[in-house]
């Protein structure tokens, strides 16, 4: 495997009430834009950059309150519409042309699906990892338990997340999660808990987006050990998308490539297939 570092260009967007940092690298007829999961930064995609940064144009970014993304005024909460608009703004700022694949993880899959419905001419393919149509019982238990923990007890919040669906992560990634919550601002923690309430209020993806309106080829990637997204639900989601496909990955859970980098082989096969 080529280990030569991929040159990365840094950018920053001042959009509406947000400051959005983003990074681009590579070139080619195919572009990959990555959408993070909740409370994850663009750093989660660095192994994709190393693997694909010389063959594709890659764009990664941070939502506000994630990584180095910032809210400069107004509410600490970010609506779904704002998140979709941020994704579109980043895509435009990165001057994406040609074939675009949007890759996402967990909550990012909701934003990516809505984006594909609202901007069908821009997206040729979706790869939605660790996403289903509803919160399962384990997710509901985790979110509910989170509200029983004082915001000051950041370590217990991190422990709850890891024990519920991050047990397959390597020790280094677990330490990063603990550090992330230790350094999170009070406003960020409160917004995180409110997002949990929002997920419970939606309960079903259909309340946020009609996936039957997704026109592009869509691959649902699921880890067989995922405790908060049921395999049957992910299969059902794929069946509701006109050009949907389900891929089950053995040996890993919700965090997929962060648990086992060899999963990038699966992505390489997907990207090599026609849209």
3-state helix, strand, coil in the chain (%, to 5): 45, 20, 35
Residue with tokens 């090599």: 272
**27 inside domain:** yes
- Domains held by the chain: number: 1
Report yes or no: 178 and 155 within 8 Å, Cβ to Cβ: yes
Residue 3, pLDDT score: 54
Task: Specify the pTM.
Answer: 0.91
**183 inside domain:** no
**65 inside domain:** yes
Most distant CA atoms of the chain, gap in Å:
49
Each residue's pLDDT tens digit, 63-106: 998 888 999 999 888 999 999 999 999 999 998 877 899 999 99
Residue 217, pLDDT score: 98
- What is the span of the domain harbouring residue 111? 9-136+204-272
Higher pLDDT, 238 or 66: 238
Report the percentage of the chain scoring pLDDT > 90.
64
Residue 197, pLDDT score: 77
**150 inside domain:** no
Is the pLDDT confidence value at 177 over 80? yes
CA-CA-CA-CA dihedral for 75, 77, 79, 84, to nearest 10: 100
Is the pLDDT confidence value at 1 over 60? no
**179 inside domain:** no
Report yes or no: 23 and 61 within 8 Å, Cβ to Cβ: yes
Residue 155, pLDDT score: 83
**51 inside domain:** yes
Is the pLDDT confidence value at 202 over 90? no
Each residue's pLDDT tens digit, 97-154: 778 999 999 999 999 999 999 999 999 999 999 999 988 999 888 888 777 777 678 8
**188 inside domain:** no
CATH code, 259: 3.40.50.1820
Lowest-confidence pick of 128-142, 186-200, 235-249: 186-200
The candidate with the shortest Cα–Cα distance to 19, out of 106, 78, 59, is 78
Confidence tier at 4 by pLDDT (50, 70, 90): low
Identify the three-state secondary structure at position 87.
Answer: helix
**185 inside domain:** no
Residues 37-43 have a mean pLDDT of 89
- Cβ burial of 127 (10 Å; 0-12, 13-18, 19+) is buried
């Amino acid at each position: 495997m080529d280990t030569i570092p991929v040159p990365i260009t840094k950018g920053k967007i001042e959009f509406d009430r947000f400051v959005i940092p983003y990074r681009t690298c590579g070139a080619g007829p195919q572009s990959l834009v990555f959408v993070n999961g909740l409370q994850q930064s663009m750093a989660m995609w660095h192994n994709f950059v190393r693997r694909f940064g010389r063959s594709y144009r890659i764009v990664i970014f941070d939502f506000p309150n994630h990584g180095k993304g910032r809210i400069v005024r107004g509410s600490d909460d970010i609506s779904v519409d704002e998140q979709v608009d941020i994704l579109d703004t980043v895509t435009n700022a990165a001057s994406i042309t040609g074939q675009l694949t949007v890759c996402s993880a967990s909550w990012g899959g909701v934003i990516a699906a809505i984006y594909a419905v609202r901007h069908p001419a821009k997206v040729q393919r979706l790869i939605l990892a660790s996403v289903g149509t509803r919160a399962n019982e384990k997710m509901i238990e985790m979110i509910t338990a989170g509200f029983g923990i004082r915001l000051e007890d950041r370590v217990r919040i991190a422990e709850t997340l890891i024990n519920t669906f991050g047990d397959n992560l390597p020790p280094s990634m677990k330490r990063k999660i603990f550090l992330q919550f230790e350094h999170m601002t009070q406003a960020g923690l409160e917004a995180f808990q409110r997002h949990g309430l929002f997920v419970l209020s939606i309960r079903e993806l259909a309340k946020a987006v009609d996936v039957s309106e997704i026109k592009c080829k869509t691959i649902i990637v699921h880890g067989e050990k995922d405790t908060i997204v049921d395999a049957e639900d992910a299969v059902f989601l794929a069946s509701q998308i006109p050009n949907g496909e389900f891929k089950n990955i053995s040996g890993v859970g919700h965090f997929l490539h962060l648990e086992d980098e060899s999963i990038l082989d699966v992505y390489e096969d997907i990207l090599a297939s026609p849209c």
